[in-house]
């Protein structure tokens, strides 16, 4: 039974909220580009596309450099490299397990809504000891046509949780994700794991990690 008050649901972005997998996926993409004959791609080139899903994460860099992609094949290769890279190395960010447990103790429904593809989402969740079945819903980039900053992925998570936006908290780390949460009509907690606080100004609360989240985010 939920405690009285709001929120009644918590929707977690994955990268930068539950895990810090950006260095691994950027390295995997760099290695994929090197295999294609472009060894000079740097991690920083992916930063503008954080939170937008791997199609844009990889595709944005390819477009900027004039590299022709076979998106299905090249993305699949990137994921192969990525899953190898994270073995035994990927852990949860501070406070993740405790915050999820706190949501459950308050009777909240919980979901993951990540622009990444299912293969990456499931690999990450399993790596940090929060199997997909931990959540009431898991929505990935393959489930929606429009990626963040469009609100579609959060709206789909809310639909699956059977909750209105006004009763949901979205936890994000990316500018595009905060924009998507606000466009969906939800309150938003932004974590500064990827962007500086001033870039996340549109969020309702801003903090470093889930370990430092104020009590107010789970009690309106």
Q: Which residues are catalytic?
A: 13, 15
Taking the C-alpha atoms of residue 140 and residue 127, their distance in angstroms, rounded to an integer, is: 17
Q: Do 172 and 143 form a contact (C-beta atoms < 8 A)?
A: no
DSSP of 101-113: HHHHHTT-EEEEE
Please state, in angstroms and as integers, the Cα–Cα distance from residue 102 to each residue in 9, 99, 106, 108, 211, following that order: 12, 5, 6, 9, 11
Planar angle of CA 101, 20, 193, nearest 5 degrees: 85
- DSSP structure class, residue 69: -
* Residues forming a β-bridge with 92: 19
Q: Do 42 and 34 form a contact (C-beta atoms < 8 A)?
A: no
- DSSP structure class, residue 209: S
Residue 154 backbone dihedrals phi, psi, to 5 degrees: -75, -35
Helix-strand-coil percent breakdown of the chain, rounded to 5? 50, 15, 40
């Amino acid at each position: 039974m939920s405690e009285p008050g709001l929120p009644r649901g918590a929707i977690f972005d994955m990268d930068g909220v539950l895990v810090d997998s950006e260095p691994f996926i950027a390295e995997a993409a760099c290695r994929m580009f090197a295999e294609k004959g472009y060894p000079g791609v740097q991690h920083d080139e992916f930063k503008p596309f954080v939170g937008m899903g791997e199609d844009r994460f990889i595709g944005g860099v390819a477009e900027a450099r004039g590299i022709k992609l076979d998106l299905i094949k090249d993305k699949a290769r990137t994921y192969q490299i990525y899953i190898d890279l994270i073995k035994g190395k990927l852990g949860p960010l501070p406070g993740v397990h405790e915050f999820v447990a706190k949501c459950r103790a308050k009777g909240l429904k919980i979901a993951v809504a990540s622009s990444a593809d299912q293969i990456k989402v499931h690999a990450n969740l399993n790596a940090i000891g929060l199997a997909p079945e931990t959540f009431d819903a898991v929505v990935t980039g393959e489930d929606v046509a429009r990626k963040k900053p469009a609100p579609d992925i959060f709206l789909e998570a809310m639909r699956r949780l059977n909750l209105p936006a006004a009763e949901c908290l979205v936890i994000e780390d990316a500018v595009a994700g905060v924009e998507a949460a606000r466009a969906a009509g939800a309150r938003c907690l932004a974590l500064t794991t990827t962007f500086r606080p001033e870039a996340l100004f549109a969020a309702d609360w801003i903090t470093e990690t889930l370990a430092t989240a104020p009590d107010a985010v789970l009690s309106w």
